[in-house]
Amino acid sequence: MASNPTPQRVIRVDDETWAAYGQLCEEKGVARSADLRMYIKREVAAWRRQQTDPAAAHSRLPQNPSRTIAES
């Protein structure tokens, strides 16, 4: 057992999709958990790059900052 195990997370996926995902991962030669971790790491890395890019941060500002959700 690893000295610093990764915490376990619970996700909800329907049986048909989970089985198909298992087949896909088997064909790729990777465990579902490893594939999910790789996907999450890629998404987080892309998000972090956007957070440090001032142009991308500016593009995420609301079109009309004075308008509130209640007004929509």
Contact present, 25 and 31 (Cβ < 8 Å): yes
CA gap 47, 72 in Å, rounded = 27
- Residue 48, domain member (yes or no): yes
DSSP secondary structure, 43-71, as one string? HHHHHHHHHH-HHHHHHTS-SSTT--GGG
Smallest CA-to-CA distance from 21 within 45, 8, 13 is with: 13
pTM (whole model) above 0.85? no
- Residue 42, domain member (yes or no): yes
- Residue 5, domain member (yes or no): no
Both tokens of 60, joined, read: 């995420």
Residue type, 70: A
Q: Which domain holds residue 38?
A: 15-56
- Summarised one tens digit per residue, pLDDT across range 6-33 is 899 999 999 999 999 999 999 999 999 9
- Summarised one tens digit per residue, pLDDT across range 46-60 is 999 988 876 765 666
- Residue 32, domain member (yes or no): yes
- Residue 66, domain member (yes or no): no
